[in-house]
Homo-oligomer: A and B are copies of this chain.
């Protein structure tokens, strides 16, 4: 249940792209501005490219840019591009697992977990992220004081 460095980096790089007016942005600039190891970032950007979130051109004047408008790319899209499915249990999707005995209802819980993650990550676009205009449901969750307490 943790967010990997890779996913975190990916979202930050994508945000940086979303905030840059069109035209290619060099990998190095992304790495600098978000303090991400350049060579690692390049692999991440490659993943993003493979899943159609980003485009790239080489050579001088080359760089990366978003393949779609920033309001059509969700944070979930970005995470999936680098990490695969968002909420797997034992490496299998929750809808494919069945439990026996007293744990029978557990599948519903994992489904609910995935749904609640999606509610946040799917509804927040890169544009929401860079403008600070988070969707109401997300803002509500983040504004709850208890949400900031560790456990």
Contact residues of A: prevailing secondary structure: helix
Q: Quick check: B34 and A2 within 8 Å, CB to CB?
A: no
Number of chain copies forming the complex:
2
Q: Is the CB of B147 within 8 A of A11?
A: no
Q: Which interface class (under 10, 10 to 19, 20 to 34, 35 or more) fits A?
A: 35 or more
Q: How far is the CB of A101 from chain B (nearest CB, A)?
A: 5
Contact assessment for B102 and A19 in the assembled complex, using a CB-CB cutoff below 8 Å? yes
A3 and B89 form a contact (CB under 8 A): yes
Q: Mark A103-115, 1 if CB is under 8 A from B, else 0.
A: 1111011111111
Residue positions of A touching B, CB distance < 8 A: 1-5, 7-8, 11-12, 15-16, 18-19, 33-35, 75-76, 79-80, 83, 85-91, 93, 95, 99-106, 108-121, 124, 129-130, 132, 134, 138-139, 141-142, 144, 146-151
